[in-house]
Amino acid sequence: MILMFVRNSWAQLARDRAAQVLAFVVPLVFFSIFAVIFGSRGPTDGTSRVRVAVVDESHSDRSKALVRALESDSSLRIRTRVSGGVPGKPGAPFTRADAEQLVQRGDVAVALVLPAGVEWSLMSFASGERVKALLLHDPGDPIAVRVVGGLLQRAAIRAYADASGDSTPAGARELLPLPFEDRAVVGQKRTSPMISFYAASIAVLFIMFSATAGGGGALIEETESGTLERVLTTGLGMTGLLIAKWLSIASLALAQIVVMFVWAAVVFGLPLGEHLTGFAVMSVFTALAASAFGLVIGTLARTRQQLTGLANLLVLGLNAIGGSMFPRFLMSEELRKFSLVGFNAWALDGYIKVFWREEPLAAIAPQVAALIGFTALFLFLARRLASRWETA
Amino acid sequence: MAVLEVRDAHKRFGATQALDGLSLMLDQGEMLGLLGPNGAGKTTLIRAIAGRVRLDKGTVAVHGRMLAAGAQRPDLGVVPQENALYPLLTARENLETFGKLNGLEGKRLRERTAWALEWTGLADRANSVARSFSGGMKRRLNLACGVLHEPKLVLLDEPTVGVDPQSREKIYDMLSALRADGASLLLTTHYLEEAEARCERIVIIDHGRAIAAGTLSQLVEQAGLAGRVVRVSLERETASPPAGFRSEGGGTELVANIRDVASELPGLLTRLQQAGLGVRDLDVRTASLQAVFLELTGKELRE
């Protein structure tokens, strides 16, 4: 009798493709996504290099040797000159202000400033005050500044060795080859810098779940209950029904975001009041995009089982690569670029700009434009897919 | 002028010819029963009239106006077989939702909602969610949602399926009230005795065609079952029924078809007596709709 139930449960699983996908495919997809994310941070993978902007205010032979040593380090991706997207004359060496801006914008994880006189500090273990290098960093990536600080010492030794042929200076074990100090240039006022990131990421993850559930309800539930047939015999029509569902799901998503951020503000001190406009703009467009995304899943799935399988696969997958589970700024550059295929990555970028980098409202224009584009695409797809529910 | 006229309706879904030249007409104030075995084309016909199926050929006209698939049908009310309700909305909210979808607003919507709650006997449950209702209550609410906007033509797909006799009676009282207000009703049902008792005319469809139409007596004629059916319950079984009888019900029940009761019934009873078969009960009636239906559509299972 007991064996019969075991056999029956396997027989049912064998006939339920959605359950098979959930049981076997989704875990593999997730494993693969995280393997790519974390695997790419291994030491042998060139894609995991820490992005560093270097400002050489010393202009000395020693500082130049140090920069060359840093550039030859396979763990670092060094930028020293203005290129596309950065204010200033293309090709000009970075200024301290440029570097600070690059860190604030999240273009580099760390900026290294080599002030004038630092060349005398390099490999000089004499007592007394020495000019220090400066590491400007984003506390959102606390690992990067430590990695760069360590690699800076290695590069200093290498640069010295290249110059003198001696790689073991006296006292090197006790004293730093190049003293440095670090300074956060983002979120200095925040007590817990990652609160805003997690408020946004968890909110986006869950509104995607509720939007797919709502999107499924748009057509599958209405079909099952018979209300779809009844509604479509009225003057509303499929386009009207989809718009109504889109707006209703979006309003729920917006409410979820508001609850999440208010909670974060009240309990964890998120400065919601200081960024109300940016928050409102990002939340409205994120909610509209998530709702349209939910409609696509809802119209793509033909059964409730398909809906569950698709929703789990796409929502968790997009959030894994989109930065809800693992910050995008810690991902390799290639993965960061690839993750922009999901609207949620744009949404998170927007929230991070508003709350974390405290950029002006105009700075989120690319994110808002992308969300509008995604929304239009999703609505178009949902309308096309929904046509099969229309007149036979 | 006919309220509804379907002419030469054809519809094919893949290899299945769902409608194959079906025509029918519904007159003002009439309740027309639409009968047919499963898969005969009833639902496709209802959906075509409601604008949810695009005919390959043929026309649907309401009050003489040809209707294209997908075109609005403000004079039409549809009551689907499923209880097409929002389970977590109250009775009042469901009525208001479908009232608005059918063009009711403001005071008119409030008046019609109040009327529907009274009409369905749900006034005291107006603010209860539909999910908490019994099957009969849901059926009544389902019906009200389809007729709230006072359509002149109402399509009812199995409106009494799955409810107890009291609820069924209430639903037919509600339908009678609709007809008294001038609505014409097209009703599909598998309850043949209901169709026989409630509908003036009946259309039997099979394989996508109307194979018989008319009043019960006209259908009986069309099925070749004119006359009376004599049903005799015997006191004991017999393996060899007397001439004119056929055996049904395991040998204790005999059935005979006669055209004239006065002249043929005495002879039948005499033959039973001569065969030594005592009669426990005797029933004489016209052929039932069930007999007509089975005669016309056969006894073979359809699904």
Q: Looking at residue A354, what DSSP letter applies? A: I
Interface test with B, best of A223, A229, A245, A387 (most B CBs within 10 A): A229
Mean pLDDT of B236-255: 85
What residues contact A136, with CB distance under 8 A and at least 6 apart?
A: A99, A100, A103, A110, A111, A112, A113, A182, A183, A184, A185
Q: CB–CB of A355/A271 below 8 Å?
A: yes
The CA-CA-CA angle for residues A136, A91, A156, to 5°, reads 45
Residue B72: list chain A partners with CB under 8 A.
235
pLDDT number for residue B148: 93
Choice between A267 and B250, residue whose per-residue pLDDT is larger: A267
| Least confident window among A25-39, A340-354, B24-38, B105-119 | A25-39
CA–CA separation, B89 and B95 (whole Å): 9
Mean pLDDT of B159-181: 87
Residue A214: list chain B partners with CB under 8 A.
none
Residue B74: list chain A partners with CB under 8 A.
235
Residue A225 pLDDT grade (very low, low, confident, very high; cuts 50, 70, 90): confident
Average pLDDT along chain A:
82
User: How large is the C-alpha radius of gyration of chain A?
Assistant: 26
Shortest distance, CA B52 to any CA of chain A (angstroms)? 5
Mean pLDDT of A132-136: 86
Residue B9 has pLDDT above 80, yes or no: yes
Tell me how long chain B is.
Answer: 303
Interface test with A, best of B12, B55, B67, B101 (most A CBs within 10 A): B101
For A389, nearest residue in chain B (alpha carbons):
B52
Between B52, B86, B146, which is nearest A391 by CB? B52
Between B78, B81, B83, which is nearest A233 by CB? B78
What residues contact A184, with CB distance under 8 A and at least 6 apart?
A: A136, A137, A138, A139
Residue A226: list chain B partners with CB under 8 A.
80-84
CA–CA separation, B56 and B54 (whole Å): 6
Scan residues 15-54 of B and list those with Cβ closer than 8 Å to A: 47, 50-54
Structure tokens at B287: 């052929």
CA–CA separation, B120 and B100 (whole Å): 19
CA distances from B68 to A39, A178, B58, B170 (A): 60, 83, 11, 35
Mean pLDDT of B60-68: 85
Shortest distance, CA A229 to any CA of chain B (angstroms)? 8
pLDDT number for residue A174: 43
What share of chain A has pLDDT > 90, as a percent? 19
Half-sphere exposure of A79 (CA within 13 A, CB side): 25
Interface test with B, best of A227, A238, A248, A389 (most B CBs within 10 A): A227
B93 touches chain A (CB under 8 A): no
How far, rounded to the nearest angstrom, does the alpha carbon of residue B186 sit from its chain's CA centroid?
8
Residue A390: list chain B partners with CB under 8 A.
70
Mean pLDDT of A273-289: 94
Residue B56 pLDDT grade (very low, low, confident, very high; cuts 50, 70, 90): very high
pLDDT number for residue A149: 85
Q: CB–CB of A308/A391 below 8 Å?
A: no
Q: What is the ipTM of this complex?
A: 0.76
CA–CA separation, B21 and A145 (whole Å): 80
A392–B84 C-beta distance less than 8 A: no
Residue A255 has pLDDT above 60, yes or no: yes
Shortest distance, CA B54 to any CA of chain A (angstroms)? 6
CA–CA separation, A294 and A214 (whole Å): 7
Average pLDDT along chain B:
88
Q: CB–CB of A348/A201 below 8 Å?
A: yes
A225–B87 C-beta distance less than 8 A: yes
Q: Looking at residue A219, what DSSP letter applies? A: I
Choice between A366 and A89, residue whose per-residue pLDDT is larger: A366
Taking an 8 Å Cβ-Cβ cutoff, which residues of chain A contact chain B?
A: 225-227, 229-236, 390-392
B145 touches chain A (CB under 8 A): yes
Between B13, B80, B101, which is nearest A226 by CB? B80
A229–B53 C-beta distance less than 8 A: no
Shortest distance, CA A236 to any CA of chain B (angstroms)? 7
CA–CA separation, A149 and A247 (whole Å): 50
Residue B110 has pLDDT above 90, yes or no: yes
For B87, nearest residue in chain A (alpha carbons):
A225
pLDDT digits (tens, 9 = 90+) for A29-64: 877 777 776 665 443 344 467 888 898 888 888 888
B74–A392 C-beta distance less than 8 A: no
Between A230, A234, A235, which is nearest B80 by CB? A230
Residue A238: list chain B partners with CB under 8 A.
none
What residues contact A227, with CB distance under 8 A and at least 6 apart?
A: B84, B85, B86
Residue A142 pLDDT grade (very low, low, confident, very high; cuts 50, 70, 90): confident
CA distances from A195 to A190, A261, A367 (A): 9, 10, 20
| Chains A–B, number of C-beta pairs less than 8 Å apart | 54
Position B167: which residue type?
S
pLDDT digits (tens, 9 = 90+) for A168-218: 555 444 456 777 888 887 766 555 567 777 888 888 888 998 888 887 777
Shortest distance, CA B143 to any CA of chain A (angstroms)? 12
DSSP B15-41: TEEEEEEEEEEE-TT-EEEEE--TTSS
A391–B54 C-beta distance less than 8 A: yes
Choice between B273 and A37, residue whose per-residue pLDDT is larger: B273
For A217, nearest residue in chain B (alpha carbons):
B86
**B76-79 vs B153-157, strand pairing mode:** parallel
CA–CA separation, A387 and B190 (whole Å): 32
pLDDT number for residue A12: 83
Between A227, A230, A233, which is nearest B73 by CB? A233
pLDDT number for residue A163: 60
Residue B64 has pLDDT above 60, yes or no: yes
pLDDT number for residue A232: 86
Interface test with A, best of B52, B81, B153 (most A CBs within 10 A): B52
Residue B47: list chain A partners with CB under 8 A.
229, 392
Residue B247 has pLDDT above 50, yes or no: yes
For B50, nearest residue in chain A (alpha carbons):
A233
What residues contact A199, with CB distance under 8 A and at least 6 apart?
A: A260, A261, A263, A264, A268, A270, A351, A355
B50–A233 C-beta distance less than 8 A: yes
B53–A230 C-beta distance less than 8 A: no
A231–B101 C-beta distance less than 8 A: yes
CA–CA separation, A45 and A114 (whole Å): 28
Residue A233: list chain B partners with CB under 8 A.
50-52, 73, 76, 78
Interface test with B, best of A230, A236, A243, A389 (most B CBs within 10 A): A230
pLDDT number for residue A125: 64
Half-sphere exposure of B18 (CA within 13 A, CB side): 18
